[in-house]
């Protein structure tokens, strides 16, 4: 079992990892941060559809990474 990924190809799962991944897709609930990120992305998409462009400021966030 294992996971293999390459920059310009998909991810390949094998063995028990396939069952774990399918179970996670079916039963996992997103956390609040994921929901908030999705909502911000949806706003950007609607703005892009409306105006043909979006503007945003990139920052390092709280971690400083």
Q: DSSP class of residue 62?
A: T
**pLDDT(64) > 70:** no
CB atoms within 10 A of CB 56: 8
- For residues 10 and 34, the model is more confident at 34
Check whether 65 has a pLDDT greater than 60. Answer: no
Spatial distance between the Cα atoms of 58 and 65, rounded to a whole number of angstroms: 13
Q: What is the pTM of this model?
A: 0.49
Q: Does 20 map to a domain?
A: yes
Residue range of the domain that includes 43 = 2-51
pLDDT given at position 60: 78
Q: Is residue 65 part of a domain?
A: no
CB distance 2 to 14 below 8 Å = yes
Q: In total, how many domains does the chain have?
A: 1
Q: Are the C-beta atoms of residues 3 and 12 closer than 8 Å to each other?
A: yes
């Amino acid at each position: 079992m294992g996971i293999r990924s390459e920059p310009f190809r998909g991810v390949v799962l094998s063995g028990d990892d396939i069952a774990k991944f399918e179970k996670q897709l079916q039963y996992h609930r997103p956390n609040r941060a994921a929901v908030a990120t999705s909502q911000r992305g949806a706003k950007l998409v609607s703005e892009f559809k409306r105006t043909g462009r979006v503007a945003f400021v990139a920052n390092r966030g709280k971690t400083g990474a």
